[in-house]
Structure 1
Amino acid sequence: MEFREQQAIYLQIAEYVCEQILLKQWPLNAKVLSIRDLAVMMEVNPNTVQRAYDFLQQREIIVNKRGVGYFVAEGAIAKVIALRREQFIEHELPVFFRNVYLLKMPLEEIQARYNQFIDDNFKEK
């Protein structure tokens, strides 16, 4: 995985796990990859994955069943959405609004492009 310099690697790994949950690749109550397996897949130190899992566990997105492993928690989707929404509003939306203003983009154009993006990427064909 290619990591961005602007964000801690453990947060990017947590973001990856959240994305897998939102895309339903990792369903509710399903076992998630072990720390070691995810570390190998991501080519990072297992301690970094442990930190990501601790972060997600504190937010009740995953749970640790001692001796068995980590699992997607009940209600994880709603918690992931709330966490991602909060991060988006705090970090990405101000940059987006600044660019919209500076580029004098009409909201109608943004809406049309958003609708096209959804059609192209998320609607079943």
Structure 2
Amino acid sequence: MRNIFTEDKPIYLQVREQIEDQIINKQLQAGDQAPSINQLVNFFKINHQTVSKGVNQLVEEEILYKKRGIGMFVSEGAREKLLVKRRQLFIEDHIVNLVQEAKKLEITDEEILKFIKQVKGSEKE
């Protein structure tokens, strides 16, 4: 889970996204205990309030839930919720801009698909 934080977004969001990534990648599954705030603070060597802010957002969105005195756990359906959310963000952040730029450059839908397949193919190597 350790990762060097970037400056393009607040650290609490990056902590949150790393937990989300673990759920999406099935490293954490429904019912699994999530790392505690103290574990995350010690692991990342960052402020307790920073970690709490990111984790509490996941609790508010019912991605994680707390068992008093025991810890935090991954909620049922958390992965599916995250996939829906992340897919929508992917469309908004990437696809919309891609389509707009392709339109300016007069790139056809077929050419876009061909380029995507080329890029996906080069990742396998």
- Give me the TM-score of the superposition, normalised by structure 1: 0.78
CA offset at residue 81 of structure 1?
Answer: 1.5
Which of 61, 74, 77 is the aligned partner of 1:59?
61
8 Å contact from structure 1 (residues 39, 45) kept in 2 = yes
Q: 1:48 to 1:119 in 2, by over 3 A?
A: same
| RMSD (Å) for aligned C-alpha atoms | 2.4
Q: For residues 95 and 3 of structure 1, do their structure 2 counterparts lie closer, same or farther at Cα, with a shift above 3 Å needed?
A: farther
Task: Give the secondary-structure state (helix, strand or coil) at the position aligned to 1:64.
Answer: strand
Match of 2:14 in 1: 12
Q: Indicate if the aligned counterparts of 1:60 and 1:79 stay in contact, CA closer than 8 A.
A: no
Distance 2:109 2:74 in 1: 38
Range that drifts further, 60-69 or 82-91? 82-91
Q: Which 5+ residue runs of structure 1 have no aligned equivalent? A: none
Tell me which moved more, 75-84 or 37-46.
Answer: 37-46
Render the CA deviation track for 1:17-50: whole Å, top value 9, x for unaligned: 1110011000110001111212232332121111
Structure whose CA Rg is larger: 2
CA distance in 2: counterparts of 1:92 and 1:62, whole angstroms = 27
C-alpha spacing 1:13/1:99, structure 2 compared with 1 (3 Å): farther
SS in structure 2 of the partner of residue 3 of structure 1: coil
TM-score between the two structures when normalised by the length of structure 2: 0.78
Report the identity percentage.
33
**Structure-1 residue corresponding to 2:99:** 97
> What is residue 43 of structure 2 aligned with on the other side?
41
Corresponding position of 1:75: 77
CA distance in 2, matches of 1:119, 1:60: 37
The AA in structure 2 aligned to 1:39 is: V
Shift of 1:66: 0.8
How many corresponding residue pairs?
A: 121
